Amino acid sequence: MAVCVAVIAKENYPLYIRSVPTQNELKFHYTVHTSLDVVEEKVSAVGKALADQRELYLGLLYPTEDYKVYGYVTNSKVKFVIVVDSSNTSLRDNEIRSMFRKLHNSFTDVMCNPFYNPGDAIQSRAFDSVVSGMMVQAC
């Protein structure tokens, strides 16, 4: 499903980033990096919007020729970005939602782990396997 999954800290530095084809790794770093501007824009718009629109899921951030980029912001302002292949048209919005949900649940577990220091890069095997679960179906 996903070709790249990234977690970005409140201060906009990466906590975790993983992509499928390793030769394109740098390209995904760029894609995720550029998406942060769109996230910022959406988050500040949400603040002004009506009460019922205050959702954590931000939806499609922007499409490129080959990929679609989706975003999600937790209440602690940690951003999740998922990059999906555009050719995969069967993927529906609520599937993306449930991926973010899973990612968020796993991230909370990481945060509640006493051996993890908030703000450090995520090196958790449990988190890794959740992310792998989202990516394997692409291969």
Partner 1 sequence: MADALFEFLHTEIVAHVYKEQAQRGDTEKERSSSLSALEGMGFRVGQGLIEKFTKDSPSFKDDLDIMKFVCKDFWTNVFRKQIDNLRTNHQGTYVLQDNKFALLTQISSGKQYLEEAPKFLAFSCGLLRGALSNLGLESVVTAEVSLMPACKFQVVIQKN
Contact residues: partner 1, CB under 8 A? 10, 46-47, 51, 54-56, 73-77, 104-105, 107-108, 111-112, 114, 118
Place of tokens 């993306």: 96
Please report how close the Cβ of residue 108 comes to partner 1 at its closest, in angstroms. Answer: 5
In the complex with partner 1, the residue whose CB is nearer, 27 or 104, is 104
Say what the alpha-carbon torsion angle 94, 123, 114, 100 is, to the nearest 10 degrees: -10
Please report how close the Cβ of residue 45 comes to partner 1 at its closest, in angstroms. Answer: 12
Say what the alpha-carbon torsion angle 129, 138, 100, 14 is, to the nearest 10 degrees: 70
Please report how close the Cβ of residue 122 comes to partner 1 at its closest, in angstroms. Answer: 13
* DSSP line for 59-112: EEEEE-SSEEEEEEE-TT--EEEEEEETT-TT--HHHHHHHHHHHHHHHHHHHH
Please report how close the Cβ of residue 110 comes to partner 1 at its closest, in angstroms. Answer: 9
Please report how close the Cβ of residue 61 comes to partner 1 at its closest, in angstroms. Answer: 16
Task: Return the number of other C-beta atoms located less than 10 Å from residue 20's C-beta.
Answer: 18
In the complex with partner 1, the residue whose CB is nearer, 113 or 132, is 113
In the complex with partner 1, the residue whose CB is nearer, 94 or 108, is 108
In the complex with partner 1, the residue whose CB is nearer, 31 or 106, is 106
Residue type, 32: V
Contacts 24+ apart (CB under 8 A), 89-93: 91/1, 93/59
In the complex with partner 1, the residue whose CB is nearer, 46 or 91, is 46
